[in-house]
Amino acid sequence: MQQLLFLSLPPYTFPATFIAFYGRQLPFLVTPIVAFLLLLLLSFHQWRHPKDKRLPPGSMGWPYIGETLKLYTENPNFFFANRQKRYGDVFKSHILGCPCVMISSPDAAKVVLVTKSHLFKPTYPSSKEKMIGPEAIFFHQEIEQIVLKYLPAWGDTTINTLQEMKRYAFDVAMISAFGHKQDSEMNGIEQLYQCLEKGYNSMPLDLPGTPFNKAMKARKLLNETLRRLIKERRETEKQSGGGRGLLGVLLGDKNQKIDQLSDSQIADNVIGVIFAAHDTTASVLTWLLKYLHDNEELLEAVTREQEGIRCRIIKADRRLTWDDTRHMPLTTRVIQETLRTASILSFTFREAVEDVEFEGYYIPKGWKVLPLFRTIHHCADFFPRPEKFDPSRFEVPPRPNTFMPFGNGVHSCPGSELAKLEMLVLLHHLTTRYRWQVVGDEDGIQYGPFPVPKKGLPVKVTPRKKKAP
Ligand code: HEM
User: Per-residue pLDDT tens for 208-264?
Assistant: 888 888 888 988 898 898 888 888 888 776 655 545 678 887 777 655 554 567 888
Atom of ligand 1 nearest to the CA of 272: 35
Report pLDDT for 29: 65
How far, rounded to the nearest angstrom, does the alpha carbon of residue 354 sit from its chain's CA centroid?
Answer: 27
Pocket test for ligand 1, best of 111, 266, 406, 452 (most atoms within 8 A of CB): 406
pTM for the structure as a whole = 0.82
Distance CA 398, CA 240 (A): 46
- Cis check for the bond before 125: say yes or no (omega within 30 of 0): yes
Atom of ligand 1 nearest to the CA of 127: 40
Give the model's confidence band at 131: pLDDT under 50 very low, under 70 low, under 90 confident, else very high: very low
Poorest-pLDDT segment among 63-77, 112-126, 130-144, 223-237: 130-144
Would you say 249 and 135 are in contact if contact means Cβ atoms under 8 Å apart? yes
pLDDT, residue 126, reads 31
For residue 151, the CA-to-ligand 1 centroid distance in Å is 26
28-38 per-position pLDDT tens digit = 667 777 777 77
Q: Is the pLDDT of residue 7 over 70?
A: no
Comparing C-alpha atoms, which of 426, 422, 410, 460 is closest to residue 440? 460
The Cα 236–Cα 133 span in angstroms is 26
Is a pLDDT exceeding 90 seen at residue 69? no
Q: How far is CA 142 from the centre of its chain?
A: 24
Radius of gyration of the chain from Cα atoms?
27
Residue 288, strand partner residues = none
Q: How far apart are CA 45 and CA 455, in angstroms?
A: 40
146 class by beta-carbon count within 10 Å (0-12 exposed, 13-18 middle, 19+ buried): buried
Taking residues 63-90, what's their average pLDDT?
86
Ligand 1 midpoint to CA 406 (Å)? 6
Q: Return mean pLDDT, the chain.
A: 82
User: Where is pLDDT greater, at 184 or 339?
Assistant: 339
Give the number of other Cβ atoms within 10 Å of residue 137's Cβ: 12
Q: Which of the two residues, 415 and 139, has the higher pLDDT score?
A: 415
Cβ atoms within 10 Å, residue 257: 8
Confidence of residue 194 (pLDDT cuts 50, 70, 90): confident
Given a contact cutoff of 8 angstroms between Cβ atoms, the answer to whether 56 and 87 are in contact is: yes
- Sequence-distant (6+) residues with CB within 8 A of 4 are none
Q: Is the pLDDT of residue 423 over 90?
A: yes
Rounded Cα distance, 334 and 325, in Å:
14
Identify the pLDDT of residue 231. Answer: 84
The helix or strand, by DSSP H or E, that contains position 452, with its residue range, turns out to be strand 451-453
Answer yes or no: is pLDDT of 19 > 60.
no
Interval 343-359 mean pLDDT: 92
pLDDT (0 to 100) of residue 91: 95
CA–CA dist 411, 425 (Å, integer): 26
For residue 407 and ligand 1, the question of a CB distance below 6 A is answered with yes
Confidence of residue 318 (pLDDT cuts 50, 70, 90): very high
92 conformational bin, left if phi > 0, alpha if psi -120 to 50, beta if neither: beta
**CB-CB contact of 84 with 91 (8 Å):** yes
pLDDT digits (tens, 9 = 90+) for 438-463: 998 778 888 767 889 999 999 999 99
What is the rounded average pLDDT of the residues 380-392?
96
Sign, CA dihedral 46-48-50-53, equals negative
Residue 8 vs residue 384, higher pLDDT: 384
**Mean pLDDT over residues 379-398, rounded?**
97
What's the pLDDT band for 27 if we cut at 50, 70, 90? low
pLDDT top residue among 286 and 411: 286
Cα(7) to centroid of ligand 1, in Å?
62
343 lines ligand 1 (CB under 6 A): no
Enumerate domains of the chain plus CATH numbers. 1-49 (no CATH), 133-463 (1.10.630.10)
Identify the residue with better confidence: 136 or 74.
74
pLDDT higher than threshold 70 for residue 42: no
Distance 362 CA to ligand 1 centre (A): 29
Distance from the alpha carbon of residue 273 to the mean position of ligand 1, in angstroms: 8
CA distances from 63 to 15, 47, 57, 67, 365 (A): 32, 7, 17, 9, 20
Share of the chain above pLDDT 70, in %: 80
What pLDDT is attached to residue 205? 76
Indicate whether 365 pLDDT > 80: yes
Centre of ligand 1 from the C-alpha of residue 259, in Å: 23
**pLDDT tens-digit series, residues 77-118:** 888 989 999 999 999 999 877 899 999 999 999 999 999 999
13 has pLDDT over 50: no
Specify whether the CB–CB gap between 425 and 419 falls below 8 A.
no
End-to-end Cα spacing for the chain: 101
Q: Which atom of ligand 1 is nearest to the CA of 409?
A: 16
The pLDDT, as a whole number, for residue 14 is: 40
Between residues 21 and 89, the one the model is more confident about: 89
With the most atoms of ligand 1 within 8 angstroms of its CB, the residue from 351, 413, 417, 427 to mutate is 413
pLDDT of residue 272: 81
Mean pLDDT of 347-351: 92
Q: Could you identify the atom of ligand 1 that is nearest to the CA of residue 404?
A: 10
pLDDT at 76: 80
